[in-house]
């Protein structure tokens, strides 16, 4: 019997002082949603927390996400079940109401790991997922044009059976080129989960996480016996020293408490165990 745990983050990066309290509150609401679902398993809890954050306008995922260089919203999401190393990702989405639902559908379908753009939307429609007009994601265009940093929202969970899972979702980075895909839907870069060792999720400059393969590197360090807190701090240090990049991570090991680390001015996060 394992001790259940959940940790949720709302993105690492500069946060306007006027939004700091509200963003933290949004993350805490997501934690409560995820925690209330943990009896259904780690995957259900991580999914529920991230799905909630896709509806929080102050977070960079789903509604209220940042805008690309053409003034549109393109969303990415990823999910991983540590029990069988099953992964699903979705990228460059414009009309899928909850990108995290599509990532899970890709994972459960099993034929591919990552679907993008029009093909991903077609897959979503064929699987009966909720679609929407792209305009629903734009709630305050002026604010969304000025969003700073490159945020992701994510959740990592461990259930009573010791299973680990992770879910991530993002709008990417403000002013990105249309078609840009960051680390959030890419296993090994922005997230990774393995029941044998632990689960991790990153947020920050996606290109840096991809260049370093940072999420997989963190799980290898857990595999070698490093404590989750040391892994989290080391990953953020590596991010800064190797590439002068900013970001943050959340980690849950096979045992022990959830951990978080970041080298940015803020990263709203909340945990329960």
Distance CA(210)–CA(128), nearest Å, equals 31
* Averaged pLDDT, 194-202: 98
What is the rounded distance in angstroms from the CA atom of residue 256 to the CA atom of residue 273?
9
Q: pTM for the complete prediction?
A: 0.97
Exposure string for 98-109, b = 16+ CB within 10 A, e = fewer: bbbbbbbbbbee
pLDDT (tens digit, 9 = 90+) per residue, 208-267? 999 999 999 999 999 999 999 999 999 999 999 999 999 999 999 999 999 999 999 889
Q: What angle do CA 239, 243, 247 make, to 5 degrees?
A: 40
Pairing of strands 269-272, 153-158: unpaired
Residue 80 host element (H or E): strand 75-81
Tell me what the mean pLDDT of segment 193-212 comes to.
97
pLDDT digits (tens, 9 = 90+) for 28-79: 999 999 999 999 999 999 999 999 999 999 999 999 999 999 999 999 999 9
| 142-151 pLDDT, tens digit each | 888 777 655 7
Note the pLDDT tens digit of each residue in 1-31: 899 999 999 999 777 777 889 999 999 999 9
Whole-number Å distance between alpha carbons of 176 and 92: 11
Just list the catalytic residues: 152
Condensed to tens digits (0 to 9), the pLDDT of residues 66-115 reads 999 999 999 999 999 999 999 999 999 999 999 999 999 999 999 999 99
Per CATH, the number for 5-272 is: 3.60.20.30
Helical residues (DSSP H) of the chain, grouped into ranges:
17-37, 42-53, 99-109, 117-126, 141-146, 206-212, 214-223, 228-243
Q: Give residue limits of the domains in the chain.
A: 5-272
State residue 230's pLDDT score.
Answer: 98
pLDDT of residue 149: 55
Provide the 10 A C-beta neighbour count for residue 153. Answer: 33
Strands 114-116 and 86-93: parallel
3-state helix, strand, coil in the chain (%, to 5): 35, 25, 40
């Amino acid at each position: 019997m394992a001790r259940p745990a959940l940790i949720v983050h709302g993105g690492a990066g500069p946060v306007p002082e006027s939004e700091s309290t509200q963003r933290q509150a949004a993350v805490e609401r997501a934690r409560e949603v995820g925690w209330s679902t943990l009896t259904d398993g780690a995957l259900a809890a991580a999914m529920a927390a991230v799905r909630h954050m896709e509806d929080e306008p102050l977070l960079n995922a789903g509604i209220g996400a940042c805008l690309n260089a053409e003034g549109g919203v393109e969303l990415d999401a990823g999910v991983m079940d540590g029990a069988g190393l099953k992964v699903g990702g979705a990228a460059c989405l414009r009309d899928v109401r909850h990108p995290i639902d599509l990532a899970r559908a890709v994972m459960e379908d099993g034929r591919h790991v990552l679907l993008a753009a029009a093909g991903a939307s077609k897959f979503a429609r064929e699987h009966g997922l909720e679609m929407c007009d792209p305009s629903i994601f734009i709630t305050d265009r002026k604010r969304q044009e000025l969003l700073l940093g490159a945020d992701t929202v994510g959740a990592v969970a461990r259930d009573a059976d010791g299973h680990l899972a992770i879910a991530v979702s993002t709008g990417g980075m403000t002013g990105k080129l249309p078609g840009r895909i960051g680390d959030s839907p890419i296993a090994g870069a922005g997230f990774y989960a393995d029941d044998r060792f632990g689960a991790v999720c990153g947020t920050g400059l996606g290109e840096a996480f991809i260049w370093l393969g940072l999420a997989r590197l963190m799980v290898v360090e857990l595999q070698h016996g490093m404590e989750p807190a040391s892994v989290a701090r080391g990953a953020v240090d590596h991010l800064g020293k190797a590439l002068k990049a900013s970001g943050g991570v959340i980690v849950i090991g096979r045992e022990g408490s959830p951990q978080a680390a970041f080298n940015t001015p803020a990263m709203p996060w909340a945990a329960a165990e």
